[in-house]
Amino acid sequence: MPPERRPIGIRVVIPLLTINNETLHSILVFPLILVMENQSSDLLQSALDDLLQEDFKRFKDKLSHSDFEGKGTIPRGRLENADRTDMKNLLMAFYGAAAAVDVTIDVFTQINLRDSAAKLRKEREKDNCPNRKGPIKEIFEKPEKLLFIIDGFDELSSLLDIDEVDLCTDPFQKKPVKTVLCSLLRKKVLQKSFLLITTRPTALEKLQQNLKFPCYAEIMGFSGEERKEYFHKFFCDEKKATQAFNFVKENEMLFTMCFVPIVCWIICTVMKQQMERGEDLAQTSKTTTSVYLLFLSTLLTDHFADSMQQPKTTLWKLCSLAADGILEQKILFEEGDLKKHNLSLCKIQSLFLNKNIFQKDTECESVYSFIHLSFQEFFAALFYMLEENEEKMKKSFSSKKDVNNLLKMYGPSKNNYLMVTVRFLFGLLNKERLNDMEKKLHCKTSSEIKLDLLKWFEVEAKKISSLPYKTYEELRDQLELFHCLYESQEEEFVKSAMDNFQEIRLEHIRLTAMDEIALSFCVKNCCSKQSLYLCNCTLGIGEREEGWIAKLRKWLFPLSTWLLVAVVLLHSLTRNPLMKDPRTSTAYALLEGLKDPNCKLKTISLSSCKLSSAFPEDLSPKTLFTNWSLEKLDLSANTLGDLGLKHLCEGLKHPLCKLQILLLWQCRLSAACCEDLSAALSTNQSLTELELSGNELGDSGIKLLCEGLKHPSCKLQKLVVWDCHLTDACCGDLSSLLSTNRSLRELNLSGNNLSYSGLKLLCEGLKHPNCKLEKLDLSEIHIDEKTTKELEVLQKIKPGLSIVHNVASSHQSPGVIPTLSVDADSSEFCPQGSCAGLGSKWHQICLQ
């Protein structure tokens, strides 16, 4: 049986709202059931009381010989002595309140009491749809007492695309239904009314952007402990429950999928059947598609061990029904829909109801639905994958079987109602699954669809990659493409598809555990040298345990065939409220990963990650010289302090250190740290770029630093000391450095308190033949006319030197670049936190 109704964790944005599924169900559903039962009871009693005695006897006789609703017949002995009230109670007890009215109408029709049937039908409609002449005006006059319930907003998300000018403010104004609904959602009409909306997460962001003062509760699914509890309740047998749960816990993807209750039930069902047959649990796969396929084949095997022809035929028709429903955004089917696809009700019940694939919706007249929307989406995907090899089956399908039409509808807007179906389609591409499906389901699969999906993916990937700026929806679309590839588990297919991405950039995204796994899989199977940016993203969403840190290391670092860039700007990932100890943060996870001999990362950025002086102590010297691949390290905007830098310098001194770029912008450094840094520079032969901007080094600090830079072993080419509290007093030391150092190519002195006297000293060193400087940045420094002339003289002596400075006057010499900021083409670290300078290779990981 599917998961019982029980409380499921809900994360609530506003503390005032604390609710679980059981409470919500009691509040909304129980009163509705009571109302329906009372209405049905009154309707049946009235209809039966109106019958003549002879008609009542005919009614009971027909009822005793007919199988209505596929539930068999009420025992004849109970019918014979029943009066009209007893008859009403029997009908409601046997069929249920709403279905009892349906059955009564059917019996009336079959015994030719059509007037009675019509009357009962009309009375029911009257109860369900109150008199239109009711006090609607009076009701709308008190909107604060109105609650509108909209179920399944993700299927209606296009409503919010309506232009503001088309909305209505008058509830009595005649407008299209979509316009009225959009006006209601945007609070243009009945502004004081309340809305209760359910939606899939895919449409939540769009909904939030358009609501005023939203309060939302997110059903979090099963936590790790709740998953364990569910397994023990499902299996009952303690030994089997422990065996099954331990197996799933070792399979990261399976354990993550059990987060969703319905999937947890499917996995438990499949594993239980495997145990009963003595099969290997390893067959339980690691994608949603494979789990659903295994469940389906197990179901068919159980019911049709002798012949697969009947389920094969029924499966074809069921898939057709599902596909039509998905395309038409239809999840409720009438008997006419079933007949249209030549589906026999009794066969469906015997094949699917018993296993809860298909269930009757007792609240509607002869309306059926898949037990979960994901099953309908799965069968719809199967429809496109299975080949039509029987003419009679072709005639039963009303859907136009063209996967390109489906993909076109999914299209640029990534319609949410098609998203899961498309994901299942990719999941059905796997060769192993296709072979297994053909063997177990005795069906042939299409070989052409794989090429169609790859072509579509190439177009979508190039389209997204070419966008200079991506909206939130476009970023989610990009992530969804990776989910599609993960479902396929076809490495060659994925490698071919990923070649279309020159750069992957995800910004302001809350990444779930499933997102992380899918992204990791795609990156691992990428052959090209590309860039991945995760800007201002949050990891670990959906995980209540700190174990996700270990998972992060697991998928980030065994990267022997690819190299990664992940940039998370402005905020540390420790902002996840679950992460309270800094040593459980992503930054520390990366630190541990660096020690992995398989780690091939070349760049790591941990700016703004709330690191302290203890972090470099862990990082160095062991990590810096054991990791041969690490070339760039960004620890900017962390409170490392002088002690932290001291620890860092120990690693820099090691002869095996290969670090080339070190960024330490705003790290609370003072002049006291420069002695250690100078010693490191005098021994390190790999470091070529050093960023020290925003630290109070002062003149004394620069003096110490210059001593190390003068050492013949120093290979530094770029030094950035923007806003380091420097004055003219340090210019003599800098001038001396420039006249002796043959490696330095770029010097950035922006934002310091330098004047003519200091800059004149600096120019003396720059004029020296040994000076090889190619770029001097003097932005945000006051340049007067005397200094400008000095720079012009320097420019004549060193025509190859590029000088960047503020505009002093209209007087300007060729080669001297007046500006109000740093060189626009520079790829150096930007204090504002830009991503400039990160190479386009899978060589970097940055968390900011």
CATH number of the domain at 124, please.
1.10.533.10
For residues 116 and 53, membership in a common domain is answered with yes
Q: Are residues 206 and 166 in the same domain?
A: yes
Question: What domain range includes position 162?
Answer: 133-221
Q: How many helices (H) and strands (E) does the chain have?
A: 37, 22
pLDDT at 762: 94
Distance between CA atoms of residues 384 and 323, nearest Å: 8
Domain end residue (candidates: 284, 302, 318)? 284
In a domain, 43, yes or no: yes
pLDDT at 523: 77
Whole-number Cα distances in Å, 658 to 15, 73, 377: 50, 82, 52
Domain C-terminal end among 91, 110, 128 = 128
Asked, for residue 296, whether it belongs to a domain, the answer is no
| 182 lies in the same domain as 273 | no
Is 822 a member of any domain? no
Residues 33 and 84 in one domain: yes
Which is more confident, 266 or 611?
A: 266
pLDDT of residue 386: 86
Q: For the chain, what is the mean pLDDT?
A: 75
Do 108 and 145 lie in one domain? The reply is no
pLDDT in tens, 417-426: 788 899 999 9
Task: Select the highest-mean-pLDDT range: 102-106, 204-208, 314-318, 485-489.
Answer: 485-489
269 and 237: one domain?
yes
Does the pLDDT value for residue 555 go beyond 80? Answer: no
Domain end marker among 192, 221, 250: 221
From the number of C-beta atoms within 10 Å of its C-beta (0-12, 13-18, 19+), residue 78 rates as: middle
Look at residue 454 and tell me if it is in a domain: no
**At 213, is the pLDDT very low, low, confident or very high (cuts 50, 70, 90)?**
confident
In a domain, 122, yes or no: yes
Same-domain check for residues 209 and 231: no
Cβ-contact 206, 223 below 8 angstroms: no
Q: Higher confidence at residue 584 or residue 245?
A: 245
661 falls within a domain = no
pLDDT in tens, 708-727: 999 988 999 999 999 999 99
pLDDT value for 27: 37
User: 486 with 518: CB under 8 angstroms?
Assistant: yes
Interatomic CA distance for residues 458 and 158, integer angstroms: 26
The residue whose two tokens read 């004549």 is 796
The structural domain count of the chain equals 3
Mean of the pLDDT values across residues 628-643?
85
Domain shared by 241 and 199, yes or no? no
pLDDT band at 68 (very low <50, low <70, confident <90, very high): low
CB under 8 Å to 320, separation ≥6 — which residues? 341, 383, 396, 397, 398, 399
For residue 106, name the pLDDT band (cuts at 50, 70, 90). confident
Q: 816 versus 665: which is more confidently predicted?
A: 665
Residue 55 has pLDDT above 50, yes or no: yes
The answer on 198 and 171 residing in a single domain is yes
Give me the percent of the chain exceeding a pLDDT of 90: 20
In 136-191, alpha helices (H): 136-140, 177-185
CA nearest 47: which of 138, 122, 139? 122
Q: Are residues 243 and 209 in the same domain?
A: no
Confidence of residue 654 (pLDDT cuts 50, 70, 90): confident
Q: Kindly tell me if the per-residue pLDDT of 747 is higher than 90.
A: yes
Lowest mean pLDDT among 24-33, 277-286, 754-763: 24-33
Q: What interhelical angle do 288-303 and 431-441 show, nearest 10?
A: 10
- What would the pLDDT profile of 764-817 be if each residue is shown by its tens digit? 999 999 899 999 999 989 889 899 999 999 999 999 999 998 754 434 443 444
Residue at 839 is within a domain: no
pLDDT tens digits, one per residue of 591-631 = 555 665 656 667 777 777 667 776 666 665 566 666 677 78
Note whether 116 and 34 are same-domain residues.
Answer: yes
Contacts of 465 (CB under 8 A, 6+ apart): 500, 501, 502, 503
In this predicted structure, which of 79-93, 176-190, 283-297 has the lowest mean pLDDT? 283-297
Q: What pLDDT shows up at residue 465?
A: 82
In this structure, the answer to whether residues 154 and 65 fall within a common structural domain is no
Q: What is the pTM of this model?
A: 0.59
Q: Which of 454-458, 489-493, 564-568, 659-663 has the lowest average pLDDT?
A: 564-568
40 within domain boundaries: yes
